[in-house]
Amino acid sequence: EAGVAQSPRYKIIEKRQSVAFWCNPISGHATLYWYQQILGQGPKLLIQFQNNGVVDDSQLPKDRFSAERLKGVDSTLKIQPAKLEDSAVYLCASGEEHEMFGELFFGEGSRLTVL
C-alpha cells in the first residue's frame, strides 16, 4: 500500500516569496492534516480536512497561509509571502475517519528554508 506522498522534499526561498507544498494521502483516507514542525519542536496542527471540507483551521495564519483539498483527495498548502519564521518541516498526514483514536499516517515532510 502506498503511503502519504509529499513534494517537494526540500525548498529554499527568499523571504516575501511564495511556496506551495503538495500532499497525496493514502487512498480512501477521509481526513487530511497539515502540521508545521519547527526544528526541535513537536508538530503543530495548521489545518484539518474531512473529505474536502475544513474541520479545523484555527491555528492557520490566514494572512499568509492557505490550503485546499480539491475533490477530497490531494491537498496543497501555500505560503505567500513567506517569513523567516516559516522555516520548518511541513508534514502531511491522513487518517481513515474522523475518530479520536484513529492512527495518523504521515508523509516524509517538506522542509522549507526561508532566507
Partner 1 sequence: AQTVTQSQPEMSVQEAETVTLSCTYDTSESDYYLFWYKQPPSRQMILVIRQEAYKQQNATENRFSVNFQKAAKSFSLKISDSQLGDAAMYFCAYNAGNMLTFGGGTRLMVKP
The site for partner 1 (CB under 8 A) is made up of 3, 33, 40-45, 48, 55-56, 89, 91, 93, 98, 100-101, 103-104, 106-109
> In angstroms, what is the minimal distance from the CB of 95 to partner 1?
9
Q: Which residue lies nearer to partner 1 by CB, 12 or 54?
A: 54
Q: Which residue lies nearer to partner 1 by CB, 24 or 48?
A: 48
Residue 20 has phi, psi (to 5 degrees) of -135, 140
> In angstroms, what is the minimal distance from the CB of 81 to partner 1?
26
Q: Which residues contact 91 (CB under 8 A, 6 or more apart)?
A: 6, 34, 35, 36, 37, 43, 106, 107, 109
> In angstroms, what is the minimal distance from the CB of 13 to partner 1?
20
> In angstroms, what is the minimal distance from the CB of 16 to partner 1?
27
Convert 65-100 to b/e letters by CB count within 10 Å (16 or more is b): bbbebeeeeebebebeebeeebbbbbbbbbbeeeee
Q: Which residue lies nearer to partner 1 by CB, 3 or 8?
A: 3
